[in-house]
């Protein structure tokens, strides 16, 4: 039989036009299913999945190809299918989530792995990696060409709720926006007005690197093979890698003015973002004067969760300037990653030291100079040091700080340095311009013993080592520069709320700015930089909130915040209480509820919800004038029921100066909503602060169904003294199955008026 090839070609051409090429193109997706939803008619979930795929098939395409069925790490399957078929599948009973298949490799930023984010189970697959959620970032702009902002693997256009535009201005053509960066705007009228002579460009392009770093930490796409000059090599990815980004540049050269910040937040709310991430500091001003406070209240009114950095003014208490009750305030902690240089002594002993020297310097069998009388490594001492040697420096001698030693080394002729130091701040910064390693005093004694015992001591150093795990330090630890509570603008609610990774986070950066140095005059650039601070911690929480929003689109901002807080972990990876970097135990004034655990937050059991009216009642209790109050809540609300007892997942009892010497009783009332699986019973355990009694009534909460709410009270009785200025405890609700543990910290604290 012969075929008319011209007619066949015409038929195929018609098919091409009748079937949308983009909708019929096939990709591989991983589908997460609710296995208990399987109809009883099917003998196995394999047959159930096959039946679903047949029902969504779009002729004349072949049936979707089932690749794998998963029934151990999680329930679901992988399949090759079109976008049209995927949309039909989403309407099937039992469907939970879907996300594109992608390569999984070791993590560079480390934090997704440190947070136990996995493509096989937990919040990533349940949320589709944050797909459909929009994070608005208020910062220094974005470098759109960075690979972290590629839209590879992101399916579909911007969410229908999106009302923003790509208006990037000079050097930022609208074509630079994509399915990842769906919006870009800039706000500079305020800073131009403050200094008319300044040359502020009209662009959303990042001029600092900070905004790109923050944006990619929250929602950067998968990028393989990145590192910081060989350290932390692997694949970079944000906490919510399929979330969309809307960028609002309101900082210029690392600074800005309140009017621009307020305009940026206002526009983000109008554009329809779901989460707002703000990694910037503010002056110590009242809540009714702070643009961050006012704008974030308006955002919460529109159902938008606002995340803010705590600030980098620690380790003293009362260094959080903006204790905004309706924003999530984030502290910074370390991760379980150590950048190292292996120091090998001539006798074969190997010592692991700290370094981020950005090159593979050749330091092999070099003579070691150790002189007990010349151990400060001052410029004068180094001028006398022999050339092409490794000198041993002790920064505690003469109080010589690390930066001074590095500057002196860069002007010397020595080959490398072994620096004995105990400064924890060294481990927050990537600046290491001269070949060397930092070791502890105990390790330094080993070096001294060897050098003094050997007639010709030598050593070698291997750079670019990355160590993961519990050694040499437990993680997380609270960064010493992370600001501590109580919040100065409002002490009645515990701030910070929780802690997230914020020390040496690898993420996108400005490719034309200095990221590292060698010696005095060699500046190095990179697309990915290691930065530290609460600015880096904040976008981790923004990303985690985006994942929760994608998994639970009906949850309020308060419910999302509650889930993050009550499931946060107060223990480190050795199962001991989280510590300061100096080794002392950290308090909730530093870590809030603890270190974020996104997978547990996905299914928290109970949440403390709060309406906008609840926040209004809180503002009305703050003894502001009518105008001050209306500045925050506007005229839409009245102060008919003022109350400082917000339904919040933490408790603060203040000791005022006038109350010292008295015995005080404070009662808190809380309401929790069951978001677990159906009926449940919870029992309470109370960890009372020192010199305090704490009683919860009732001690058991019984829920007959999902989304049912129950109330309880916490009454604490305590002596109003400030010998122990801050005492901590916790209320912990656990269900009868042992699956859920809902923890809320208690703080009894001396109020600021005790120190005036």
Give the Cα separation of 733 and 701 in Å (integer): 9
Express each pLDDT in 686-709 by its tens digit. Answer: 999 999 999 999 999 999 999 999
Q: Which residues pair with 307 in a beta bridge?
A: 277, 328
Distances (CA, A) of 224 to 27, 104, 416: 20, 9, 32
Q: Where residue 87 falls among pLDDT bands split at 50, 70, 90?
A: confident
User: CA 756, CA 753: separation in Å to the nearest integer?
Assistant: 5
Average the pLDDT over 440-469 and give the result: 92
Direct distance between the N- and C-terminal alpha carbons of the chain, in angstroms, rounded to an integer: 100
Residue 5 has pLDDT above 50, yes or no: no
Question: pTM of the entire structure?
Answer: 0.84
331-369 pLDDT, tens digit each: 999 999 999 999 999 999 999 999 999 999 999 999 999
Whether residue 241 has pLDDT greater than 90: yes
Q: Which residues are catalytic?
A: 139, 210, 535
Q: pLDDT of 158-201, one tens digit each?
A: 999 999 999 999 999 999 999 999 999 998 888 887 777 888 99
Rounded average pLDDT over 199-220: 95
Question: Do residues 341 and 473 touch, judged by C-beta distance below 8 A?
Answer: no
The CATH number for 22-100, chosen from 3.50.50.60, 3.40.50.300, 3.30.540.10, 3.30.70.80, is: 3.30.70.80
**Confidence label for 399 from pLDDT (cuts 50, 70 and 90):** low
Q: How confident is the model at residue 100 (pLDDT cuts 50, 70, 90)?
A: low
So what's the architecture of 337-468 in CATH? 3-Layer(bba) Sandwich (3.50)
Domain regions of the chain by residue span: 22-100, 111-336+479-601, 337-468, 605-610+646-755
Domain 111-336+479-601, second-level architecture: 3-Layer(aba) Sandwich (3.40)
- DSSP E strands in 237-304: the ranges are 244-249, 275-278
CB distance 585 to 591 below 8 Å = no
Q: Which of 101-110, 158-167, 291-300, 316-325 has the highest mean pLDDT?
A: 158-167
Per CATH, the number for 605-610+646-755 is 2.60.40.2310
Look at residues 489, 683, 476 and name the one whose alpha carbon lies nearest to residue 592. 476
């Amino acid at each position: 039989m012969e075929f008319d090839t011209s007619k066949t070609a015409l038929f195929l051409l018609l098919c091409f036009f009748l079937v949308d090429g983009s909708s019929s193109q096939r990709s591989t997706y991983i589908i997460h299913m609710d296995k208990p939803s399987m109809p009883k008619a099917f003998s196995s979930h394999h047959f159930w999945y096959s039946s679903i795929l047949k029902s969504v098939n779009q002729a004349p395409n072949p049936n979707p190809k089932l690749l794998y069925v998963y029934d151990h790490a999680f329930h679901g399957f992988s399949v090759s299918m079109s976008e049209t078929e995927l949309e039909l599948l989403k309407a099937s009973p039992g469907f939970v989530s879907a996300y594109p298949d992608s390569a999984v490799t070791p993590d560079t930023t480390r934090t997704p792995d440190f947070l136990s984010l996995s493509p096989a189970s937990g919040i990533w697959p349940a949320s589709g990696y944050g797909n459909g959620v929009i994070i608005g970032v208020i910062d220094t702009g974005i470098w759109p060409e960075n690979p972290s902002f590629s839209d590879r693997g992101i399916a579909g256009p911007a969410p229908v709720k999106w009302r923003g535009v790509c208006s990037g201005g000079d050097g930022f053509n609208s074509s630079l926006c994509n399915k990842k960066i769906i919006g870009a705007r800039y706000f500079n009228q305020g800073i131009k007005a403050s200094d008319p002579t300044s040359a502020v460009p009209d662009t959303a392009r990042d001029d600092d690197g900070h905004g790109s770093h923050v944006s990619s930490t929250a929602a950067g796409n998968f990028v393989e093979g990145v590192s910081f000059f060989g350290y932390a090599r692997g694949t970079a990815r944000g906490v919510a890698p399929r979330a969309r980004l809307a960028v609002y540049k309101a900082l210029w050269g690392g600074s800005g003015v309140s009017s621009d910040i307020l305009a940026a937040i206002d526009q983000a709310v109008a554009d329809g973002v779901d989460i707002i991430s703000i990694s910037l500091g503010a002056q110590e001003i009242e809540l009714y004067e702070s643009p961050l406070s006012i704008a974030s209240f308006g955002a919460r009114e529109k159902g938008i969760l606002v995340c803010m950095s705590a600030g980098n003014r620690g380790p003293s208490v009362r260094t959080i300037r903006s204790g905004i009750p309706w924003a999530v305030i984030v502290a910074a902690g370390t991760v379980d990653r150590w950048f190292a240089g292996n120091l090998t002594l001539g006798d074969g002993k190997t010592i692991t030291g700290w370094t981020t020297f950005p090159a593979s310097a050749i330091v092999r069998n070099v003579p070691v100079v150790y002189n007990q009388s010349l151990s400060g490594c001052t410029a004068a001492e180094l001028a006398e040091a022999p050339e092409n040697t490794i000198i041993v420096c002790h920064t505690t001698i003469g109080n010589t700080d690390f930066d001074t030693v590095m500057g002196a080394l860069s002007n010397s002729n020595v080959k490398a340095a072994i620096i004995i130091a105990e400064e924890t701040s060294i481990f927050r910064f990537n600046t290491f311009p001269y070949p060397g390693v930092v070791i502890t005093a105990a390790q330094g004694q080993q070096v001294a013993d060897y050098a003094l015992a050997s007639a010709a001591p030598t050593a070698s150093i291997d750079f670019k080592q990355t160590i993961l795990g519990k050694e040499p330090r437990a993680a997380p630890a609270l960064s010493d520069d992370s600001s501590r509570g109580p919040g100065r603008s409002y002490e009645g609610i515990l701030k910070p709320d929780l802690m997230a990774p914020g020390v040496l986070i690898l993420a996108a950066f400005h490719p034309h700015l200095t990221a590292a140095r060698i010696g005095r005059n060699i500046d190095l650039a990179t697309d990915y930089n290691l930065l530290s601070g609460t600015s880096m911690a904040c976008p981790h929480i923004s990303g985690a909130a985006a994942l929760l929003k994608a998994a639970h689109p009906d949850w309020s901002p308060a419910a999302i915040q509650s889930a993050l807080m009550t499931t946060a972990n107060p223990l480190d990876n050795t199962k001991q209480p989280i510590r300061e970097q100096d080794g002392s135990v950290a308090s909730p004034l530093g870590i809030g509820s603890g270190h974020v655990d996104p997978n547990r937050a996905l299914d928290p059991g109970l949440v403390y919800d709060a309406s906008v009216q609840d926040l209004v009642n809180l503002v009305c209790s703050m003894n502001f004038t009518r105008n001050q109050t209306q500045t925050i809540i506007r005229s839409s609300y009245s102060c008919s029921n003022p109350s400082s007892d917000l339904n919040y997942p933490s408790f603060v009892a203040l000791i005022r100066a006038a109350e010292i010497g008295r015995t005080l009783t404070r009662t808190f009332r809380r309401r929790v909503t069951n978001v677990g699986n159906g009926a449940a019973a919870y029992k309470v355990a109370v960890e009372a602060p020192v010199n305090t009694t704490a009683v919860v009534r009732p001690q058991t909460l019984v829920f007959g169904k999902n989304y049912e709410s129950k109330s309880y009270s916490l009454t604490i009785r305590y002596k109003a003294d400030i010998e122990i200025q801050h005492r901590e405890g916790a209320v912990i609700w656990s269900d009868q199955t042992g699956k859920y543990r809902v923890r809320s910290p208690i703080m009894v604290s001396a109020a600021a008026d005790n120190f005036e």
